[in-house]
Amino acid sequence: MTHGRACAARIRERAEHEGWPLIHIAAQIATCCQVPPLRAWRLAHGMPLEEAARRLVELCAEAGLRQPKLRKGDLSKYELGRTPVPVWMIDPLCRLYRARPDWLGFGGDYSEIPPGEEPENTRLATPFHTPFPLDKPDHGGHRKSHSLSFIGIGGSDEMRRRELLHQMLVTSGLVLTSSHLVAAEQTRQKLFDATATASIPGDTLNRLESLVQEYESRFYDMPPTNRLGALLTDFDEVTRWLGHRLPVMTQRRLWRAAAHLAELIGDTLYVLGQGRHGAAWLATARTAADEAGDRQFATWARASQAVHSLLDQGGITHGLQHAQQARSLTREPCAGTALAFAVEAHAHAMTGNEAAARAALGKAQEIVERLPAAQRRSAVWGYPERKLHATTSVTMTLVGRTREARAAQAEVFRQYPVHSMAYITSRFDQAKCLIHDGDLDAGCASAARTLLDLSPEYRTPLVLNRAREVLLLLPEKHRKRPAATELRDILTTAQRA
Residues 286 and 301: beta-carbon distance below 8 Å: yes
Query: What is the DSSP track for 160-218?
Result: HHHHHHHHHHH-TTPPPPHHHHHHHHHHHHGGG----B----HHHHHHHHHHHHHHHHH
- Least confident range from 113-127, 427-441, 469-483: namely 113-127
Angle 28-180-20 from CA coordinates, rounded to 5°: 30
Angle between helices 22-33 and 5-18 (to 10 degrees): 140
Using the predicted structure, report yes or no on whether residue 127 has a pLDDT greater than 60. Answer: no
* pLDDT grade for 69, boundaries at 50, 70 and 90: confident
Using the predicted structure, report yes or no on whether residue 99 has a pLDDT greater than 50. Answer: yes
Using CA atoms, how far apart are residues 57 and 118, in angstroms rounded to an integer? Answer: 35
The predicted pLDDT at position 21 comes to: 82
Nearest Cα residue to 131 out of 159, 100, 152, 110: 152
Residues 429 and 349: beta-carbon distance below 8 Å: no
Using the predicted structure, report yes or no on whether residue 456 has a pLDDT greater than 70. Answer: yes
The predicted pLDDT at position 109 comes to: 58
Q: For 8-44, what is each residue's pLDDT tens digit?
A: 888 888 888 777 888 888 888 887 777 888 898 999 9
Residues 112 and 155: beta-carbon distance below 8 Å: yes
Q: For 381-410, what is each residue's pLDDT tens digit?
A: 999 999 999 999 999 999 999 999 999 999
Nearest Cα residue to 339 out of 317, 309, 364: 364
Cα-to-chain-centroid distance, residue 83: 35
Nearest Cα residue to 371 out of 360, 359, 382: 382
Largest Cα–Cα distance in the chain? Answer: 87
- Please give the torsion angle defined by the CA atoms of residues 195, 198, 201 and 207, in that order, rounded to the nearest 10 degrees: 0
- Least confident range from 108-117, 158-167, 234-243, 417-426: namely 108-117
The predicted pLDDT at position 137 comes to: 36
Question: What average pLDDT does range 347-371 have in this prediction?
Answer: 95
Query: What is the DSSP track for 379-432?
Result: SSSS--HHHHHHHHHHHHHHTT-HHHHHHHHHHHHHHS-TTSHHHHHHHHHHHH
CB atoms within 10 A of CB 25: 23
H or E segment at 132? strand 132-137
* pLDDT grade for 313, boundaries at 50, 70 and 90: low
Which residue type does 277 have? H
The predicted pLDDT at position 66 comes to: 66
Question: What average pLDDT does range 47-74 have in this prediction?
Answer: 82
The predicted pLDDT at position 135 comes to: 38
- Least confident range from 117-126, 130-139, 221-230, 332-341: namely 130-139
The predicted pLDDT at position 466 comes to: 93
467 compared with 187, residue with greater pLDDT: 467
pLDDT > 90: what percent of the chain? 44
pLDDT > 70: what percent of the chain? 83
The predicted pLDDT at position 112 comes to: 53
- Least confident range from 54-68, 91-105, 210-224: namely 54-68
Write the CB contacts of 195 (distance below 8 Å, at least 6 apart in sequence).
Answer: 243, 244
Residues 156 and 186: beta-carbon distance below 8 Å: yes
Sign of CA dihedral 353, 411, 273, 266: negative
Q: For 191-242, what is each residue's pLDDT tens digit?
A: 655 444 457 888 888 888 898 888 888 887 889 988 999 999 899 989 888 8
The predicted pLDDT at position 497 comes to: 67
- Least confident range from 67-76, 254-263, 459-468: namely 67-76
The predicted pLDDT at position 385 comes to: 93
CB atoms within 10 A of CB 488: 17
Using CA atoms, how far apart are residues 295 and 222, in angstroms rounded to an integer? Answer: 29
Using the predicted structure, report yes or no on whether residue 156 has a pLDDT greater than 60. Answer: no
Residues 223 and 458: beta-carbon distance below 8 Å: yes
The reported pTM is 0.63
The predicted pLDDT at position 111 comes to: 57
Which residue type does 18 have? E
Which residue type does 116 have? G
Half-sphere exposure of 189 (CA within 13 A, CB side): 23
Write the CB contacts of 93 (distance below 8 Å, at least 6 apart in sequence).
Answer: 38, 56, 85, 104
Question: What average pLDDT does range 347-366 have in this prediction?
Answer: 95
Write the CB contacts of 314 (distance below 8 Å, at least 6 apart in sequence).
Answer: none
Using the predicted structure, report yes or no on whether residue 115 has a pLDDT greater than 70. Answer: no
The predicted pLDDT at position 359 comes to: 97
The predicted pLDDT at position 437 comes to: 95
Using CA atoms, how far apart are residues 474 and 467, in angstroms rounded to an integer? Answer: 12
**Residues composing the chain:** 497
Which residue type does 300 have? W
